[in-house]
Amino acid sequence: MTVTAENWLEGLVDEIRPALYGGAVSGYLPEFEAARVDDLAIAIDYGADGILTAGQCHSLFTAQSVVKVFTLLLALHHRGEDYVFERVGCDQGIGSYNSLETFIRGSGVPVNPFVNAGALVVVDMLPGSDPDSRVRNVVDFIRALSGNTSIGVNTGVARSEHTLADRNRALGYFLRSHRLISTDVEELLWAYCQMCAIEVDVVDLARAARVLAQARDVVVEGQVLRAAHLRLVRRLMLFAGMYEASGQYACDVGIPAKCGVSGATIGVVYQRMGIGVYGPALDRSGNSVGGLRVLRQLSGTLDFD
């Protein structure tokens, strides 16, 4: 039998599947508990060479922390690099992604845009006259990047998180007490929960990631996304995208990536491919077991630096 690219990827899913049982689905929200530990879907967008998929590639899941990649890019596009990095750091995380420790490290701002304190600061600076319009702008941005106009918010998941968001609420009030956000904390939190609950499939993630892989400025629905901003986002993903395992991941795998608590994973190989994975089994660091394995496998087969 000839091994086509498509069945190579299906073979990869089969190869990885046994390892998924070593992880566990997140208990962060009751909605995640219904996920199957052995679920794994992959999409790889090679640009002009097309998209490869394997597994249930049209199953929907919420982006969770993967959305932070897009909120950061939108903030950079809208406000510019200086504005963004005066208010949020560009450093590796310390402690857990949602802890107060991630807040102050000399500079007095959250360590980076991917810890929750930093992500809340980024949401505060997004375009839009009020929090709801900021959510719409983020949804529109992800629709434009992925080319899928049906992307929307899973309001049930957003509400569920909002009722359980005491840690993020505490971070919000803490940030406000330091004058790092100006929006009403409850409104900001509701906007953030909705952004985390944007529903996508792996093809959407792969397509959006392929935009991030570009070497030059990209025009997306009339907006010019600057190459320098795409590069910055990739670099942050490389050293801060995988929670507390980020440093180890950067050394071992080296593909800029971001995981979310739902099992959503995005990876970007410069000038070559955008990768979207859904694997709800998480490891102890909170990263998707399947997502990590796919990225590790690709990194082993690709010639890149």
Considering only residues 162 through 181, tell me which ones interact with ligand GLU, judged by CB under 6 A: 168
Query: Was 116 annotated as part of a binding site?
Result: yes
Q: Which is nearer to ligand GLU, 71 or 168 (CB)?
A: 168
Among 13, 41, 65, 239, binds ligand GLU (CB under 6 A): 65
Pick one of 74, 171, 196, 200: the residue that binds ligand GLU (CB under 6 A). Answer: 196
Please tell me whether 161 is known to bind a ligand.
yes
Is 168 marked as binding a ligand? Answer: yes
The count of residues interacting with ligand GLU (CB under 6 A) is 10
Span 259-298, contacts to ligand GLU by CB under 6 A = 260-261
CA nearest neighbour of 241 among 278, 284, 285 = 285
Min. distance of Cβ 295 from ligand GLU in angstroms?
17
Q: In angstroms, what is the minimal distance from the CB of 212 to ligand GLU?
A: 18
Q: According to the binding rule CB under 6 A, does residue 98 interact with ligand GLU?
A: yes
Which residues carry a binding-site annotation for substrate? 65, 116, 161, 168, 192, 243, 261
The footprint of ligand GLU (CB under 6 A) covers 64-65, 97-98, 116, 161, 168, 196, 260-261
